Amino acid sequence: MSYNVVDVERLSRRYDQSLALDDVTLRMKPGLVYGLVGANGAGKTTLIKHLLGLLRAKQGSVRVFGLDPVVHPVQVLQRIGYLSEERDLPEWMRIDELLRYTSAFHPGWDQAYAQEMLDLFQLDSRKKVKHLSKGMRAQAGLIAAAAHRPDLLILDEPSTGLDAVVRRDILNTLVRMVADDGRTALFSSHLLDEVEQMSDSVFMIDGGRLVLQGDIDEVKQMHARIVVRFSSHSAEFDNIKGLLSAEAEPYATAGDKTWQIVCSGEVDSVCRQLTYVGGEVLQSRSANLQEIFVARASRDRHHQSIG
C-alpha cells in the first residue's frame, strides 16, 4: 500500500457555537491498532463520522485509502468494518440472516471466518437479534463488521456496558487478529487501560483538539509520574519546565505536603528543578495513559478524571 490508510489534514468542525474538531491532523498506517481516546463529547465520534463519509469536511480534508469518503462512498465503505457504540442491528433478523444480508455488500466476505468467530463467541446463529444480551449483540455486530476482512476496522466504544469476559474476547481475538493480518484498526474508547493494552499508537483528543499522538511506548517514556514532598513552606511549580499537572495528596500532615506530579520530557531535569525549589523527590516512574491524558486534558482547567 503506497499511501496511508487514513490522512486527515487540518480538519475542523463547528456545530453552532461549539467547535467539535479543532485543526486536527493525523495519519494512520497499515498493520497497526490505533487508540482514539477522550472524554465524552471530546470529538471522537465526530472524527469517525468524517472517516465514514457521514460528514463532509468543511474545513480541512479527509482521505481514506487515498479517497474522499464522501465522494467515493462505495469504494471506501467496502473496505471498512464498523461497529457503532449503539449496536444498532435489525431486531427482527436472526444472526445468520444478519450475516447473509451483510455479506451481500462485501465481495470479500469470508464465511469460514464468520463461522470461526460464531464458534469462538458460542453464538447460536438461529437466535434473533432482539433476544440477544448486550454482550451477544456486540459480538454479532463485530462478526458482521469483520468477516469481510476489512482493510480498516473502526470500533467506536466496543466495550461499553460489556462484562470483563466479553470485553477480553472481543479485544484479544478481533483487534489483534486484524492487525496481525496486516490490516488496520481504530479503537475509540474512554477506557484508557484497555487502549494502553491493545493499541500500538494513540491519538488523544480533548475539546476537539489533538493534544497528543504517537507510539504508546514512546508516549509513556516521554511522561513521568513523580511524588515530591515539600516541608515547612509552600510548593512552587510556576517555573518547573515540563510540568503538566500537580495535585496535593489530601492526607498530608500540617507543614508537610506531598504532591503527585505528571511531567513530560526528561524526568531527571524535572526532579532537579523540584529539588532546587525545596522539594524532596520520593518516587518517580513512567506515567500510564490514564495519568497522561488527565494531566494534558486538565492543563488549562480543573483537574478531572474521564474514567
pTM, two decimals, is 0.87
Q: Which of 89, 90, 86, 64 is nearest to 77 (CA)?
A: 64
Q: Which three cell numbers stand for residue 109?
A: 466476505
Residue 146 to residue 81: CA distance in whole angstroms: 6
Topology of domain 222-297, CATH: Alpha-Beta Plaits (3.30.70)
Which of 214, 301, 255, 159 has the alpha carbon at shortest distance from 32? Answer: 214
> 155 and 188 in contact (C-beta within 8 Å)?
yes
Domain assignments of the chain as residue spans, ordered by start: 6-218, 222-297
* CA nearest to 27, candidates 48, 58, 5: 5
pLDDT at residue 302, as a whole number: 42
307 - beta bridge partners?
none
Angle (nearest 5°) at CA 32 between 83 and 219: 105
Give the count of alpha carbons within 13 A of 252, CB side only: 19
Helix axes 134-146, 95-103, angle to 10 degrees: 20
Calpha distance 118→99 (Å, rounded): 11
Assess contact for 40 and 20: CB atoms under 8 A.
no
Q: What pLDDT is recorded for position 46?
A: 93
pLDDT of residue 238: 78
The CATH class of the 6-218 domain is alpha beta
The pLDDT value given to residue 278: 86
Based on C-alpha coordinates, what's the Rg of the chain?
Answer: 22
pLDDT in tens, the chain (307 residues): 457 999 999 999 998 878 899 999 999 999 899 999 988 778 899 999 999 999 999 999 999 999 999 999 999 999 999 988 777 788 999 999 999 999 999 988 999 999 999 998 899 999 999 999 888 898 899 899 999 999 999 998 877 777 788 778 777 766 767 777 888 999 898 888 888 888 899 999 988 999 999 999 999 999 999 999 888 666 778 788 989 998 887 765 556 788 999 999 889 999 999 998 888 899 999 999 999 988 887 664 443 333 3
Three-point CA angle 48, 299, 225, nearest 5°? 100
Domains 6-218 and 222-297 share a fold: no
